[in-house]
Amino acid sequence: MIRIGNVLPQDLEQIIGLQRANLRENISESARQLQGFVVARYDIPFLERLYAAEPPLVAYDGDKVVGYCLPTPLTVAAASEFLQSTSEMITGLAYKGKPITDYRYCLMGQICVAAGYRGEGIFDKLYLAMREQLRGRYDLVVTEVSYRNARSMRAHQRMGYEIIHSYQHDEHWAVVVWDLTAM
């Protein structure tokens, strides 16, 4: 039975293992196209800092982490080169006619579900649990999704994320926003 909740400190290493197994460069092109991928690399010191500020949500199958979701406050995002560049770019963007910086927002550092557990609703359950955790403290969750990551793009849009910006860097990216006040 899958249980969704905050990660236990002793299980942060399992998040790193699941991340490593799904990094874009560690999986085949066919797996990237069919199953999706993650791009950002985090380490234990980053996750410990995140845990202290906004505990990650995980899906447990027994004691095994089979999915995770990393809502990331801006203060913690500054400790990640990947998230820092996202944060800097977002400051020039708007949502519903207002600058993003006029909202209370956090970044989605990453979400991942283990192979063999996909298609069981874990992605949605992680996001719904995150929404409950963040409710009242943030208006928006902002993240980036590669257009090549079609599975992730569909899943984010299914949850209600809206594309507010597209750009080209190492590939074609969409900046997407989830409005927590609209729910």
On the question of pLDDT at 33 being above 80, the answer is: no
Domains of the chain: 2-182 (3.40.630.30)
pLDDT at 161: 97
pLDDT band at 104 (very low <50, low <70, confident <90, very high): very high
pLDDT at 181: 94
Mean pLDDT of 112-136: 95
pLDDT at 26: 86
Q: How far is CA 128 from CA 105, 121, 122, 132, 180, in A?
A: 16, 11, 10, 6, 10
pLDDT at 182: 87
| DSSP for 89-158, written as a single string | HHTT-EETTEEGGGS-EEEEEEEEE-TTSTTSSHHHHHHHHHHHHHTTT-SEEEEEEETT-HHHHHHHHH
How far is Cα 26 from Cα 28, in angstroms, rounded to an integer? Answer: 7
Please provide the average confidence, as pLDDT, over all residues in the chain: 93
pTM over 0.95: no
Per-residue pLDDT tens over the stretch 127-167: 999 999 999 999 999 999 999 888 899 999 999 999 999 99
